[in-house]
Amino acid sequence: MTHPANPESVFTYGAPQLKFGRGAAEEIGYDLSLIGANRVLVVTDRGVAATGTPQRVADHMQRFGITAHVFDGSRVEPTDESLQAAIEYARESGPWDAFVAVGGGSSIDTAKAINLLLTNPGALMDYVNVPVGAGLAPVNALKPLVAVPTTTGTGSESTTICVLDVLSQKVKTGISHARLRPTLAVIDPDLTMTQPPGVTAASGMDILCHALESYTARPYTSFERKAPERRVPYCGSNPIADMWSEKALGLLAGSFRQAVQHGDDADARADMALAATFAGMGFGNAGVHIPHSNGYPIAGRVKDFHPKDYPADEPMVPHGMSVALTAPEAFRFTFDAAPERHLRAAALLAPDAERTRDPAEQLPTILIALMRDIGLPNGVTGVGFDEGDVDGLVEGTMKQQRLLATAPKPVTEDDVAAIFRRSMQLW
Ligand SMILES: NC(=O)c1ccc[n+]([C@@H]2O[C@H](COP(=O)([O-])OP(=O)(O)OC[C@H]3O[C@@H](n4cnc5c(N)ncnc54)[C@H](O)[C@@H]3O)[C@@H](O)[C@H]2O)c1
Ligand SMILES: [Zn+2]
């Protein structure tokens, strides 16, 4: 790690207003009535709509004199095209006073894009991160957005990010700006009870990687000092984000396997929901690094993999699965940059685990045991890639420089290639 000439001495912390607990989703109408909202668009996807939850949330709002309309056209893992279609739908059916996203990261991110483009000039690609898009900052304030997660995963309800697949460039990237952060996050664990096991497993690995990557991220003090106007939401690891990541790991230790294997366990579901929220509040301010950078090309270059419990119409590697597959090897690689953090994370995640002879193996060993138990595919070959795909995957990872910059040590193409090769099969 290079030592900055003028080290950063400031970090920032942002989070939305938050309501957590069983029954919280019934209070959204009240919360929106306080700001005088009359016409509200509820944004979801078809799978979540089929559980009846979005319509129930809309019906509760009607009691406060709010007209709420359910739009179920979010794509599972949004693309530029799906976001564009959603934006057009909302524009034609508007105006809307506020948006309520009920669903996983896919629905919440779709609502963020709708909100951005209905309140600001220009086109979607104007706001997408450089070099894929123009990376412009929104000039106008957005409308109120209430984010109501039904998965236990992304933490999108508390982040400033909207993730999308830009089809023409075969790349997953994002829009990132403080204005995208939801006004209010409403986390009601009851809504997560219908999450199928496959979704619980993949989205749970997203929580875990958020916590581990932000906890092992380059410390904020290792960056050059930024001018105030150059500050970004991701600061590197810092004492406040660390606290959330540690708490998230402790909750996952007690609930992850149980939530996958016994989805009707309300306590496990509630702990997973809390873990997702905590990890979101951590990584949303610290950042993520190698596993997430590798996850984007794994998802973007999918060939013919159809995961259980996800829509079957198109091949996909779900986000949480795509980031998990190289995590054991990524943390074996980063171990020497911050051994004590890797060991502390391992101890939080599996307090009773046997000590491995080589301390660098501790966290990877725990991760692999967990992934086996919850039914994740066995490595990158498990989702349809082989050695011949490594060059393409590495190229995709190297495009995620914004994320790689948060890794605790420099990452070369050869390093990434070695991580992919060693991740072909994990057990
Ligand atoms: N904005 C962020 O900060 C951020 C962070 C990480 C990931 N993401 C993005 O979020 C997306 C993934 O989101 P996700 O993992 O939350 O899942 P998701 O929204 O893609 O949903 C996954 C599947 O589960 C179904 N589902 C969701 N909740 C359900 C419930 N309670 N009952 C029954 N079925 C349910 C959906 O219909 C869908 O088929 C990806 O596009 C990813 O890139 C965003
Ligand atoms: Zn993620």
Read off the tokens for 126: 């104007």
The whole-number average pLDDT for the span 142-155 is 98
- pLDDT, tens digit, for every residue of 354-404? 999 999 999 999 999 999 999 999 999 999 999 999 999 999 999 888 899
Ligand 1 pocket (Cβ < 6 Å) reads 45, 47-48, 51, 76-78, 103-107, 109, 150-151, 153-156, 159, 161-163, 191-192, 194-195, 199, 203, 206, 310-311, 319-320
pLDDT confidence band for 420 (50 / 70 / 90): very high
pLDDT of residue 2: 65
Query: Residue 55: is its pLDDT beyond 70?
Result: yes
Reference 288, options 346, 205, 215; nearest CA is 215
Query: Over pLDDT 70: what percentage of the chain?
Result: 100
Tell me the best of 158, 163, 173 to mutate to test the pocket of ligand 1, counting ligand atoms within 8 Å of each CB and taking the most: 163
Global pTM value? 0.97
pLDDT of residue 1: 61
pLDDT of residue 169: 85
> Mapping DSSP to helix (H, G, I), strand (E, B) and coil, where does residue 322 land?
helix
Cβ partners under 8 Å of residue 85, min gap 6? 73
pLDDT of residue 17: 96
> Would you give the DSSP letter of residue 227?
P
Of 79-88, 161-170, 181-190, 298-307, the least confident: 161-170
Read off the tokens for 19: 């309501």
* Ligand approaching nearest to the C-alpha of 298: 1
Read off the tokens for 159: 């982040």
* Ligand approaching nearest to the C-alpha of 151: 1
Which amino acid would we find at residue 410?
A: P
Q: How far apart are CA 40 and CA 29, in angstroms?
A: 10
pLDDT of residue 172: 87
- pLDDT, tens digit, for every residue of 221-250? 999 999 998 888 899 999 999 999 999 999
